Chain A
């Protein structure tokens, strides 16, 4: 089942008709709900959909809050991997919501473009198989160099560093070129990574890396783009409404998906950094990386205990991990569903800062207990010492070198020496500004000397953008390309001189760069290159 949240009945009817009209997809059902946060969360908690389509063209909801909540729910193994598609009115509308990609949106679609492509892509993102893709004219290139940007996000700033969340695999002590917002503007700078947080401890992306901010040194050119440490510190200290420090950190350990929803509520109502986990191993990783003010631990009920990880033995291991950490016994544990009383637990676990609650975890309890930490926070808090920027300014780009091997109006293939996880989103600007969603390839791709061979769906364009892409591909097929750049249209490249792009369902046409005057007709093999799916400890992919 696909959930469509919005109020465009015509769009819904076309989606339903599309899936019903093909034997490969006719088992897909679509359910419509008018856009309301609670309905979405209720629906998701009840039934796991294949995909969620959010129609932003007719909503006045607090989208950011909704995304935070959806994302917390998606951290539960039951809901992990559900693709979330956003429908926008136009490019401006999409740009205004760009930060939502840091909060869980996976695929942008601008209404007015070919919906059949969207419907097929949703099917592929949901099932990764049996999708009746259209075959488009393909230009093949002899590995043309290009620089894309991998979308990443600023988690926050400390006194001398910036914490960046991204899906690109990072290493300690290496430099990267970033386009990043510092003090007053976006700057392109080379930053050195200082600390890499373990994969798995992250809120939304696959990793979080701390980068040193390169301040202006005594021997640097004062006219350079480097910033003065003083002005940076003033910016942080005085801050503005957009720079907020979190009160502290909370971890919720539970195997109940409903509690992940409670985490979302807590994250939107309190200025705490909220983490959730359903596995002991991940909880341990969290504790190795961070200090927490409180850990809300939901013990599994006796009937759930078979194979359950949320038991007293693991609670004991976690309290031990806290005792052995640098800050000792700062963390308070609240154990829900506990058949034993507080004193018994304290003695058996040899840990004083623990409270037993007989009943199950509820939103009211979590809020009420969090209030205690908020009110007492100033001297006890595990302050994050990290200032977050308003989300709309928080996106940035990692410069990513690649070699383009082929392009259609829907897909682009390229080689890269980087490990790029599936479902990462890249920004491209050739032939026009678009996004590239990295997907498991729909045709067989061999890796080469230039690196791993990737495929991305070209997304986020308007009808005009796709016309530009179509024209670019056609021109590349006919005239060839020696560099992957947008060249001014020449006289002879007008429509009359161009062949028409191959329509959906036709045979794929491939013209190689080295032999561009020969037209090779080949069937789409349907074969698949080996998919290297990068995951965190929980098997979470970007989706």
Chain B
């Protein structure tokens, strides 16, 4: 079963390497880019199924990157891995289609979320979730 190819977009090399090690077992391959511009080149050059992306980066930040890639017609699921304090940019990212937001520097849920994003990227379709079930869950919790 193919696991899919992952792209990590993170300007801090230490963190990028750490993420590569951590997420490597969950993907067929893990590529790294250090800003949005490099990430655009990467998705043009190779087959990528999901992206883990920082928001604050030099040259081209995460929001500019997602805006540009959507403009170019790329539909990859993007998980934003970002520090607290980027709420306004997070809301801006929503209109371009964000898969999830995970809080730096924690790694909680990161592997599971990346697996879901890669699955989605491989199928190229949204899973057929039951909205009714989600609504029932909310109402049951209230």
Contacts and interface: CB of A to CB of B under 8 A. Distances in A.
Given A347-B100, A348-B90, A358-B126, A339 B95 contact: yes
Contacts of A289: none
B45 interface: no
Contact of A365 (B113, B126, B131, B138): B131
Given A343-B100, A344-B101, A358-B126, A369 B135 contact: yes
Nearest to B136: A372
A35 to B, nearest CB: 36
Contacts of B139: 332, 372-373, 376, 380
Contacts of A358: 126
Q: In which size bucket is the chain A interface?
A: 35 or more
Q: In which size bucket is the chain B interface?
A: 20 to 34
13 contacts: A312-B92, A332-B139, A340-B96, A340-B97, A343-B100, A343-B113, A344-B94, A345-B94, A348-B87, A355-B131, A355-B134, A369-B135, A373-B139
Contact of B97 (A339, A353, A355): A339
Interface of B: 80, 87, 90-101, 113, 126, 131-132, 134-136, 138-140, 142
Contacts of B98: 340-341, 344, 348
Contacts of B90: 347-348
Interface in A358-416: 358, 365, 368-369, 371-373, 376, 380
Contacts of A353: 138, 142
The majority secondary structure among interface residues of chain B is helix
A372 B135 contact: yes
B131 to A, nearest CB: 6
Contacts of A313: 91
Q: Which 6 residue pairs are nearest across A and B when measured between Cβ atoms?
A: A339-B97, A344-B98, A348-B90, A376-B139, A347-B101, A312-B94
A78 interface: no
B101 to A, nearest CB: 4
A292 to B, nearest CB: 14
Contacts of B91: 312-313, 316, 348-349
Interface string A87-125: 000000000000000000000000000000000000000
Among B95, B126, B132, B136, the one with the most A-chain Cβ atoms within 10 Å of its Cβ is: B95
A98 to B, nearest CB: 40
Among B80, B99, B131, B140, the one with the most A-chain Cβ atoms within 10 Å of its Cβ is: B131
B77 to A, nearest CB: 8
Nearest to A299: B95
Contacts of B80: 344
A334 interface: yes
B132 A368 contact: yes
A44 interface: no
Interface in A19-34: none
Interface string A53-80: 0000000000000000000000000000
Contact of A302 (B95, B131, B132): B95
A372 B95 contact: no
A127 B80 CA distance: 54
Contact of B131 (A343, A344, A357, A373): A357
Given A344-B100, A344-B101, A332 B94 contact: no
A316 B87 CA distance: 11
B94 A340 contact: yes
A142 interface: no
Interface in A263-319: 294, 299, 302, 305, 311-313, 316
B131 A369 contact: yes
Given A334-B131, A353-B138, A369-B132, 20 more contacts: A312-B95, A334-B135, A339-B97, A340-B95, A341-B100, A342-B134, A344-B94, A344-B100, A347-B90, A347-B100, A348-B90, A348-B94, A348-B101, A349-B94, A355-B131, A355-B138, A369-B131, A372-B135, A372-B139, A376-B136
Given A348-B91, A380-B142, A332 B135 contact: yes
A343 B134 CA distance: 12
Among A316, A371, A372, A373, the one with the most B-chain Cβ atoms within 10 Å of its Cβ is: A372
A229 interface: no
Nearest to A338: B94
Nearest to B99: A341
Contacts of A372: 132, 135-136, 139
A195 interface: no
A330 interface: yes
A305 B95 CA distance: 10
Contacts of A352: 138
A355 B140 CA distance: 14
A357 B135 CA distance: 12
Nearest to A372: B135
B142 A348 contact: no
Contacts of B135: 294, 332, 334, 355, 369, 372-373
A353 B113 CA distance: 20
A372 B7 CA distance: 39
B141 to A, nearest CB: 8
Nearest to B80: A344
Nearest to B101: A347
Contacts of A339: 94-97
Contacts of A376: 136, 139-140
A188 to B, nearest CB: 45
Nearest to A345: B94
A344 B138 contact: no
A345 B80 CA distance: 12
Nearest to A311: B95
Contacts of B134: 342, 355
B100 to A, nearest CB: 5
